[in-house]
Each structure stands twice: as C-alpha cells, then as structure tokens.
Amino acid sequence: MPWETELDPSTRAVEQDVPTLLRAGVRVLTEAGVPSPDADAAALLAHAWEVDETDLSRRRLFADAVPAEVAAGFARLVAERARRIPLQHLTGVAHFRRLSLRVGPGVFVPRPETELLVTEVLDHLAHGDDGAPPLVVDLCSGSGAIALSVALEHPGVRVIGIEREAPALSWSQSNLVDLDLGTSTVDLLAGDATTVSVDHPELAGTVDVVVTNPPYVPDAAVPRDPEVRDHDPAAALYGGASGLELPALLIAQAVVLLRPGGLFVMEHAEDQGAGVREIVAGTPGLSGAATFPDYTGRDRYTVARRDSAASPMRNGE
C-alpha cells in the first residue's frame, strides 16, 4: 500500500513533498469513509507542522519538502482520523465564528449550524434601546461556543452559561481564560439547565435572551457517524424518548427567565420544528414561534418571544 511505504512512522522516514503527503493522507481517509478527506488531511498536516492552513497552501503550491518528523506525526494523526477520532480531538481546536475553541473528550464539538443561533441573538441585542446592559442566558452551554461568541461580538453584554456536566464546564472555562471580551462579561456556572430558575430565582423576568443548543436526539436514535456516536458525550446528545422531553423542560425555564419582549432561541433536529412550535404554543407567556433553516436548507432552530404585555412568571404558574 503506498501509504505504508510513504508515511508509516515505524519505518525509516523518506523526505516527501507536501502534495505527495496530502494525496496519501486523502487516500487513507477516503477509504475509511471520512466525510471530508481533503480538508481533514490539510488540517492534520498543518497541525503536525505547527503552521496555519494559509501557510500550508503556499507550501503545497511550491511543493515544499516536509521534514521527516512532521511526516511521521502526520501519519500518526491520519491513522487516528481513519479510526474516526474527531478531527477536533486530534487538533484540539474547533473553529466557531471568530473563536478557536479548545475541545476534546467530554465536550460536544460545536457545529457550524449553531453559529446561526448566535446571529439571531446578536440581531435581537442590536435592537435593544433601553440603555441597560443586556443579559443573555445560554442553557447547556457546553464548550462555551454560543456564550463566548455573543460576549465577544456584542460589547457590554452580560452572559451566563449553565452547564451540568463537569468535563464540558472545564473545557468552557479554559476557553474563557485567555479571551479578551472587552466590556462584556461571561459567567460559566455549574448547574442543571432544567432547574435554573429555581436555583437562581434572581434571574426570573430579567433575561433579554435565552438561547440553547440542548440534547435533542431521541434516546433510541443512535447517530450514524462514529465521530458523534462514539465521541460526543451522551449527555449532550439524547433528549428523551422523542428527543424533545428535555427541550420542553428548557422552554418552561425560558418563559420564567425572560423579561417581556425577550427572545428564546433553540436548536433542534431538522424534523423537530413542528414539535418545538407545538410546545411553545402550549406554553403560556411565549408566542410567535417560527422555525428557520441552517446552511443546508434544513429546519434547524426555532425562535419565540416572551409576551410583551405579560408580567414575569413565577415558578409553578
């Protein structure tokens, strides 16, 4: 097999150029069924070489020679990726809007479609006009992708992220450490998103936006992709028998937390929009539910608003 003679790190390394190594890596990843072999091979070689992908593109154009130790590291990474270890676990980074987030075992790897939830939040905040610093609560905050993006992109906002799982919370807190948020603040708290209004009664009726990318996979619907099935934590995937049991509990929390006119934004599966709108319709105090597509045109998230004329709800109402 050409890969073994070109890249096997257990044999004497032979100096090769960038295009040759990338072609070999792409072959292995393609045979393993990796969905994006070209992009993944480039990302892995850039990581092994400790260069960015723009620099790698230049080196590829000029067919630069790759040092033997870099080629050996690349071979090891490609072998791991061929075993369907997530790319982000191998590089340690997930790119999300303007962020490069640290990720690894124990935290859900953020997906590009979730970026659209941030856009909805930012659009809402841009139209605020009461002069007070807005408050956003991110339920099931995971890696901190949503919370940190909102804080980074809307100066002066206060964001609270709620995450129950200790490994995920640790990843999000590490992502916060080195981030310059300017006048914004982020508090990443350990807690159960389904009881946040009980655990933090001071938040009731004060929140401008509640946003969440909750677990929504039905318990019996095991994901096909090994990267998801075997590596994303189960606590971040499964939302109950229909997938909407846990999201329904978060909707009940949102109506308590939101101030009149506040926005609710929830990600869900492409076939769950009608179910989420039905839950919202049966939740007094929330109205105007509408579902929107992701980059592929599939229904991906639903928004609703806290009734403007309503008084803030108390738990149990």
| Within a domain: 313 | no
Least confident of 14-18, 106-110, 215-219: 14-18
Decide if pLDDT at 4 tops 60.
Answer: no
Shared-domain flag, residues 179 and 251: yes
Torsion of CA 106, 107, 111, 117, to 10 degrees: 160
Can you tell me the distance from the alpha carbon of 145 to that of 101, in angstroms, rounded to the nearest whole number? 7
* pLDDT bracket for residue 1 (50, 70, 90): very low
Shared-domain flag, residues 100 and 55: no
Q: What is the pLDDT of residue 172?
A: 98
Q: In the chain, what is the straight-line distance between the N-terminal and C-terminal CA atoms, in Å? A: 67
Decide if pLDDT at 129 tops 80.
Answer: no
Shared-domain flag, residues 28 and 109: no
Average pLDDT over residues 80-103: 97
Shared-domain flag, residues 142 and 78: no
Q: Which of 61, 83, 105 lies at the terminal end of a domain, its last residue?
A: 83
| Within a domain: 312 | no
Q: Which of 83, 106, 129 lies at the terminal end of a domain, its last residue?
A: 83
Q: What is the pLDDT of residue 178?
A: 84
- Which of 308, 216, 309, 303 shows the shortest CA–CA distance to 265? 303
What total number of domains does the chain contain? Answer: 2
Tens-digit pLDDT profile for residues 236-273: 999 999 999 999 999 999 999 999 999 999 999 999 99
| Within a domain: 317 | no
Can you tell me the distance from the alpha carbon of 9 to that of 24, in angstroms, rounded to the nearest whole number? 14
Shared-domain flag, residues 167 and 203: yes
Shared-domain flag, residues 157 and 78: no
Number of Cβ within 10 Å of residue 52's Cβ equals 10
Three-state secondary-structure class, residue 101: strand
| Within a domain: 316 | no
Shared-domain flag, residues 234 and 131: yes
Q: Which of 83, 116, 136 lies at the terminal end of a domain, its last residue?
A: 83
pLDDT over 70, % of the chain: 92
Shared-domain flag, residues 65 and 132: no
Can you tell me the distance from the alpha carbon of 258 to that of 210, in angstroms, rounded to the nearest whole number? 7
Can you tell me the distance from the alpha carbon of 150 to that of 59, in angstroms, rounded to the nearest whole number? 35
Tens-digit pLDDT profile for residues 17-38: 999 999 999 999 999 999 999 9
CA 240 from chain center: how many Å?
Answer: 20
Torsion sign over Cα 199, 200, 202, 208:
negative
| Within a domain: 315 | no
Instruction: Please answer whether residues 262 and 251 qualify as being in contact, where contact means their C-beta atoms are separated by less than 8 angstroms.
Output: no
Can you tell me the distance from the alpha carbon of 71 to that of 6, in angstroms, rounded to the nearest whole number? 9
Can you tell me the distance from the alpha carbon of 309 to that of 233, in angstroms, rounded to the nearest whole number? 40
Q: Residue 241 is part of a domain; what is its CATH number? A: 3.40.50.150
Instruction: Please answer whether residues 301 and 265 qualify as being in contact, where contact means their C-beta atoms are separated by less than 8 angstroms.
Output: yes
| Within a domain: 46 | yes
Q: What is the pLDDT of residue 5?
A: 37
Decide if pLDDT at 83 tops 70.
Answer: yes
Range of the domain at 59: 4-83
Shared-domain flag, residues 135 and 233: yes
Q: Using DSSP, how many helices (H) and how many strands (E) does the chain show?
A: 13, 11
Instruction: Please answer whether residues 279 and 304 qualify as being in contact, where contact means their C-beta atoms are separated by less than 8 angstroms.
Output: no
Shared-domain flag, residues 109 and 179: yes
Shared-domain flag, residues 288 and 171: yes
| Within a domain: 263 | yes
Q: What is the pLDDT of residue 310?
A: 52
| Within a domain: 79 | yes
Helices marked H in the chain: 2-7, 18-31, 37-49, 53-61, 68-82, 87-91, 115-126, 145-153, 166-177, 196-199, 226-229, 245-257, 273-281
Shared-domain flag, residues 34 and 164: no
**Mean pLDDT, the chain, whole residue set:** 93
